[in-house]
Structure formats: structure tokens, C-alpha cells
Structure 1
Amino acid sequence: MDGVPLTSSETEYVEAARAANTMRGYRSDWREFTTWCTEHDLEPMPAAPATVTGYLSDLARAGAKVGTMSRRLSAIKFAHQLRNHPDPTRNARVVAVWEGIRRTHGAPPDQATPLMPPELFDVLDACPVTKAWRTPGRQDEPDLAGARDRALILVGFVAALRRSELAALTLDQVAAHPNGLVLTLARSKTNPTGEHVELVVLPRAANPARCPVVALNHWIQLAGITDGPVFRAVGKNNQPATRALHPESVNTLVQKAVARAGIDPGPYSAHSLRAGFVTYAHLRGASDRAIAHQTRHRSLATLGTYVRVHQAWTDNAATILGL
């Protein structure tokens, strides 16, 4: 940038260079930082290196996770770059304090608990099928929310989709195939600019009750969806909304579905579906390359973070001590 303030249109394009979820996070993190600065009578823009290190130190002492602090630093960096100010996070003082915090407080990142069989089947079975009405004279109906949740969970698991991809899926991205369905994803976390099309398959399952194709088609037919978003909110009147689910709503629906099955929802999230696919496919003997073909991971090494816990028990002498 050349010192000339960005126009509103230019600012919109700069923000569009990052995912919507990222921008929401940046705005939230920047508000947190500016609030802290106000409380300490410090200037947030441009921020002095001592301001940033003081903020980081307070966060670390309060028990903030390294990942959270890293995201806050990214927000501070982005805000300064957007206004053509020097990046305070690159200052030697900030770099030294940040390295010390990471060494002192660093911990492995939290991993979503994989949702996979047999728990996955329990969650599917707990999805309501029939909507019973207390209103006199009103007949029972198929439960649309239950049908949506079943489709959401099966598609999320078998297609190994991220919650943002589930929320953004539209009907024109779903195509029939002799073996099932093919999902065409124009954009994703690893393909943010849509430079290439990503294809994800949904094969038919032998058991219709566990088939993503059957579940998705059933939901689409019940909800009367002819175009637009595939996964939508369902009102108390058992009617679908026209708007797409928010990615956070996908997270909430997965946790509620897990709770309905009598399982503690705490360790689970929407990412548990993707993690469950990777872990279960690995346990079933699939190669890393075959798994990455569906998950669209660019690095095979990344897949190891999903299956490391299960691998630790394989061929391990500690399991045969006979104690």
C-alpha cells in the first residue's frame, strides 16, 4: 500500500482475500485488543511493541491458549497492514516475548473427538423420524429436522466435509452418478479462490439406513428443495427456511444429535465428522493417499494428527503385560 487510504470498495476486496470466518475472528480479536488497550490507557493503532507484549503477557498469565494468542497476533498484524502502519508483531521485542510464551505455555492443539461407528450409528438412530403434534386433528408428519440431521451427519462423515462446506453446499453442486452422488465444491479452505474444482463422492451404502445418498435425497424431497442451499434451518412448524445454515449452527446441530444418543456432547463438534471419516477409514485399511483423495488434504502428514491416538495402541507391548 502507498499511504493513500483505501476506498470502501478496496477495503471490501482486501477483506474478501480472507475467508469469512477468518474475518469474523479478526474483528472479534481486534475488539478484544482495543478493549484491553482502552483499559490500560494505551494506543491500539499504531500499537507500540511494548503494548503488544504487555497484552500477550496478560493473556498468557490469564491462561489463554497459544492458538488463541496466535490468532490475536494475526488480527493485530492484519489491522495494521490494512491501514498501512508498520507491523508491530515483527518487532524484535514482540518476537522474543512470543517465542518465550510458546515455549512456556505451548501444548498440542485440541483435536475434535472422531465421531465414527458404532457411536455414529447410535447418533443416526436417535434422529427423530416422526413429528407428533399435540394440536387436535393434526396428523403426525415426518420430522424434517430429524431428516436433515441424519443427512447432515452422513454427508459430513462420508464426504469428510468441513462445517463451512456443509453450510455452503447448494443443490446445483449435487449431481447424480450411477454409483451415488458427486459433490462439486467451487471453494474450500484449501481452494479459497476457486482456481480448481474439487469433486467429492457419496457412494451408495449397502444399508439404506446408513446411506448418505438415501438420507440426502430423502431430506431434499421432504423439504421440497428445488434450488439454493441444501442444509437449512427447520422452524417449529416443521417447515424448512429458505436460508442456509450458519457454520456455527452446523456445529450446534451435531452436538445436539450426539446428546440425543445419550453421549456426552462436550468433546464433539462438526469437525468430529471429518475426523471420524479419516480415523475410521484408516482403521478399515485405507491408505493415506486414498483418504486424502476424499478429504482433499494437500499434505499427507496432516492426516496423522487424526489417527495418532489410535495408532499408539497398535502393536504396543504395554497392552500385553498381563497386569
Structure 2
Amino acid sequence: MSERDLEVVDAELVDDLLPAIPEDRTPAVPLADEDPDAWLSPEAQADVKAGIPEETSKAYKGDMDRFTEWCVSAGRRPLPAAPQTVTEYLSYLKRTPRPRTKRPYGPKTMDRIIASIRSSHRAAGFQPPDTMGARKVVVGYREELSLAKDPAAQPKKASPADRTVLRIALGELDRTTLAGKRDAALMLLGHALASRGSELVPLDWPGNFTELPDGGLRVRVYRKKRKLWQDVTVVLDPEPDLCAVRAVRTLAAALADEDHHEGALFLRMDRWGYLAPPMQREGKPIGDPDGRMTIEAASDIVQRSIERTGLPGRWRSHSSRRGFVKSARAAGVDIVDIGRHGGWDDKSKALIGYVDEEDSQGKRNPLAQIGKAATKAQEEQG
């Protein structure tokens, strides 16, 4: 999944692969048999679908397809599913290794599968089944993994690529090449904007950028989770090698030398440095026709660049967003200012989680601060 971890959203999912509804009407959610108005027009159906992230929609469809296959093999009904069927399925998933990983699904994915089943029921006009039993299976599974100290018990998080990490990674990068200039700009701008890969890849030059009198850049970013545009000011950095503004300008100039003056800033390249090479799969063209790289490619660049240094961690494009929080907290920036710069909601639990992780380390550890205060009190008394 993208960035590759999907948020569990118990949303309404409209899927034309689900059982057909009489009279070509898609039910509203929830469906009341006695209510003649409980249906949606094709236009409203399209509007609902537009509000569901594409990655989430794909994941939910895959989850429901696999659930349906299991129900057929087990002689059970997928729609409407009985609560015991969902519980039995989650118990099956807990005990069944997947062919690719040789391990069962993790608890977080199983939570999403439950949401997928409920959402698909709503979309098909059925009352979602009670999933208390299924959720208890997941709770017990998570505890079982935790007691066994299995890493699968913890959500997979991208490691933070803060200034220290970026400095080391960029020191290993050949920034004289076009690919090196692109990779440096991608990592530095991702950190400066506190952006997700899905927010970074769509940026166009010069369309999303405005030159500022002080030498900085104003970048117009679409914050995908919140579904709003934000203008983010990126200032010149005192360390030229860590300056996102300089890196972006350098990349734009290098692209202009290749006769690419506007459009996608982050383009795919082949091993020889050719821009936007055509790609095919089974004889059919694939990829963005303008050469824009994918979100997965952006994550691969971050991963490859940092792993080259030997630094341990799970490095993805989201590492830049988490790294921004770590860098900002190390500089003593207020959490409100961090959140508003990075496009977080003021009540964001994700941001609070990032800050809590950083503040529990080093000088902001509460015990360290208590000890420091006690030492100071003793000195004053002595």
C-alpha cells in the first residue's frame, strides 16, 4: 500500500463487483427496507466513491475478494455474512501463513479487513455484521504476538530521516549527476515540506512554486489526508548541502538543460540517466505518460539512498515527514507550529504520537528533566 500503510477507515465503499441491486439503484447507507428513499443516484454514487482514497478503495476490494473466495471454499455466505462467519475468517487468517511472506497477516491489516467487510456490506445495501467476536480475535492475537516479542505486534513505521540522517545520506550521493540532483531535491524538499510521498510526487515546476523576495520558495502542496491546499514557505538553509531551495533550483536547471522546462519536477529515469523512458508491461504502455515518478519510486529512492550508508531503520518517503518532526523538536519548535507547517490537524493523534516518541528521548525525557531539577535544587541548597 502506499505510503504503503493504509489508515483503517470504516467508510462506505461503492464497488461494481459486489452483488447487483434491483432496479439499478445503489442503496444509501444504512439501508432501511421500509424507506423508499433509501437509494443513491449514479451521480451520488460517483461522489461517494470520489471521497474514498484510491489506495483504500483498492485495498478494500482486495480484502473483500479474498473473503468471498474463502467463504466459497468454506461453504459460507459472504453477503450478508453472519457474525460467526467473520469471526471464523479472522481466526483462519491468524493461523494461515501467506504464500509470499510465509507469515499470517498482522493485527493492523486484520483490523482493516474487518473494516473492509463492514464497508462492503453497507455499499451492497446490507446491515454490517456484528464484528465483536472478530475484533476479540485480533485483540488476543495482538497480545499473543506482544508477549512473544514478535515485531508483527507493532505497526510498521517509517524511521525518521532528520537532518543528521539526511546529512549522512546526501554525503554518499553523487550530486553531479541528474539522478543525484533529483534524489537530493526529493529528500530535502520532502523534509522541508514535511510531506508524504503522495504530496511530493505531484509537484510541478514552476506551477507549484513561487519565488520569494528573500530567496526562498513558496510551495503549494495538496495535503491529501485533509483534502486541502496549503502554501508552505521554504527558506534558505544555512547549510548549503541541506538546503531544499537550492536543491530544487539545481534540479530545475538541470531538467531545463534536458529541454524539460515545466511540468513534473520528479521524473523517472533509467539506469543511464535518460528522462521519462517509455515503460511497457505485456506489450502495453504503463506509467505516467509525462514521465512523473510513482509514489513507490519516491520511497525506493529514500530507502536506497539511506540504506547505502548502513544506517539501520525502515526508510520510506514518509521518513522525511517524520524526520521533519524530529528535526523541529530538536530545535525546540512548538508542536503547534510543527503541525501547521506540516499540514497536520491541530488535534492530530499521528503528530502527537511522533512528538511523544521524540520527547521521550534524551533531554526531553521526563525523568531526565526531573533529575536535572533535583540536581539544581541540591546545588542551590548547598
Q: Tell me if TM exceeds 0.5.
A: yes
One-letter code aligned to 2:138: I
User: Which residue pairs with 2:25 in the alignment?
Assistant: 5
What's the offset of the Cα at 1:156?
0.5
Among 59, 64, 67, the alignment partner of 1:30 is 64
Would you say how many aligned residue pairs link Structure 1 and Structure 2?
299
Q: Distance in 2 between matches of 1:293 and 1:187?
A: 11
Greater Rg over alpha carbons, structure? 2
1:157: Cα distance to partner?
A: 0.7
- Per-residue deviation, residues 278-321 of structure 1 (Å, max 9, x unmatched): 0121111000011012111112553231133332232536998x
SS at match of 1:244: coil
Pick closer, same or farther for the CA change 1:318–1:57 going to 2, 3 Å.
farther
Structure 2 spans left out of the alignment, 5+ residues:
1-13, 15-20, 27-40, 97-103, 144-152, 277-289, 372-382
Q: Distance in 2 between matches of 1:267 and 1:11?
A: 39
The answer (yes or no) to whether the contact 1:174–1:184 under 8 Å persists in 2 is yes
The 1:318–1:202 alpha-carbon spacing in structure 2 relative to 1, beyond 3 Å, is closer
**Where do residues 1-323 of structure 1 align in structure 2 (5 Å cutoff)?**
4-6=24-26, 12-62=46-96, 63-88=104-129, 91=130, 94-99=131-136, 101-102=138-139, 105=142, 107-130=153-176, 143-171=177-205, 172-179=207-214, 180-191=216-227, 194=228, 197-224=229-256, 225-241=260-276, 242-264=290-312, 266-298=313-345, 299=347, 301-313=349-361, 314-316=365-367
Q: 1:174 to 1:39 in 2, by over 3 A?
A: farther
Change (3 A) 1:186 1:283: closer
Instruction: Tell me the alpha carbon deviations over residues 189-225 of structure 1, each in whole angstroms, 9 at most, x when there is no partner.
Output: 112xx4xx31222111122221101111111221234
Does the C-alpha gap of structure 1 residues 52 and 300 become closer, same or farther in structure 2, counting only changes over 3 Å?
Answer: closer
Question: Normalised by the size of structure 1, how large is the TM-score?
Answer: 0.82
Secondary structure of the 1:199 match is strand
Instruction: Provide the C-alpha distance between the structure 2 equivalents of 1:51 and 1:300, rounded to a whole number of angstroms.
Output: 35
Alpha-carbon distance in structure 2 between the residues aligned to 1:81 and 1:215: 48
| 1:315–1:79 distance in 2 versus 1, CA, 3 Å | closer
Q: Distance in 1 between matches of 2:71 and 2:298?
A: 34
Over residues 39-58 of structure 1, what are the superposed CA-to-partner deviations in whole Å (9 max), with x where a residue is unaligned? 32333233232221111122
Q: Percent identity?
A: 27
Aligned AA (2:25): P
Q: Secondary structure at the match of 1:105?
A: helix
State the alpha-carbon separation in 1 of the partners of residues 293 and 72 from structure 2: 36
Post-superposition shift, 1:8?
7.0
Q: Which secondary structure state, in structure 2, belongs to the residue aligned with residue 310 of structure 1?
A: helix
Rounded Cα–Cα distance in structure 2 between residues aligned with 1:100 and 1:234 = 46
Distance 2:84 2:240 in 1: 61
After TM superposition, the structure 1 stretch with the greater mean CA deviation from structure 2, 199-208 or 153-162, is 199-208
Distance 1:244 1:270 in 2: 16
Which amino acid letter does the alignment assign opposite residue 220 of structure 2? T
C-alpha distance in 2, partners of 1:30/1:144? 43
Gaps of 5+ in 1: 131-142
1:27–1:55 Cα change, 3 Å: same
Q: TM-score, normalised by structure 2?
A: 0.71
Moved more, 39-48 or 309-318: 309-318
Closer, same or farther: CA 17–268 of 1 in aligned 2, 3 Å: same
* Aligned residue type for 1:44: P
Structure 1 contact 200–294 (Cα < 8 Å) conserved: yes
Between 30-39 and 216-225, report the one with greater CA deviation. Answer: 30-39
CA RMSD of aligned residues (A): 2.7
User: Following TM superposition, by how much is the alpha carbon of 1:233 offset from its aligned partner in structure 2, in angstroms?
Assistant: 0.7
